[in-house]
Amino acid sequence: MSENILEINDDSFEKVVLQSDKPVMVDFWAPWCGPCKAIAPSVEALEKEFGDQMSFVKVNVDDNPITPSKYSVQAIPTLIFFKNGEIAEQITGMVPKQKLEDTIKEII
């Protein structure tokens, strides 16, 4: 995992995501999830490209059940894009890097 992608938990979610002054992409994942591992290189590449304009964080759904439940995360990976503390976009499942890039460009 890229050192610039912050691993957060239920306790830090509000401060890191909802109170952020720039858009945030939250990757809801679990260590046992194959598609989560498959999408990780795309997320890391996008962080390198857009990390100055958007924050990238991960939430392990096994260790932090409150936040995924609050946002109705039913399957992983689920990527939720927040802007000004509100959900701007949500993508579930393995998707091409280009779709993620297009979504980021729309939000920032």
| Catalytic center residues | 33, 36
Q: E-strand spans in the chain?
A: 6-8, 24-29, 55-60, 78-83, 86-92
Answer whether the bond into residue 23 is a cis peptide, omega within 30°.
no
Report the alpha-carbon angle 47-9-7, nearest 5. Answer: 30
Q: Return the bridge partners of 92, or none.
A: 78
CA 73 – CA 104 distance, rounded (Å): 20
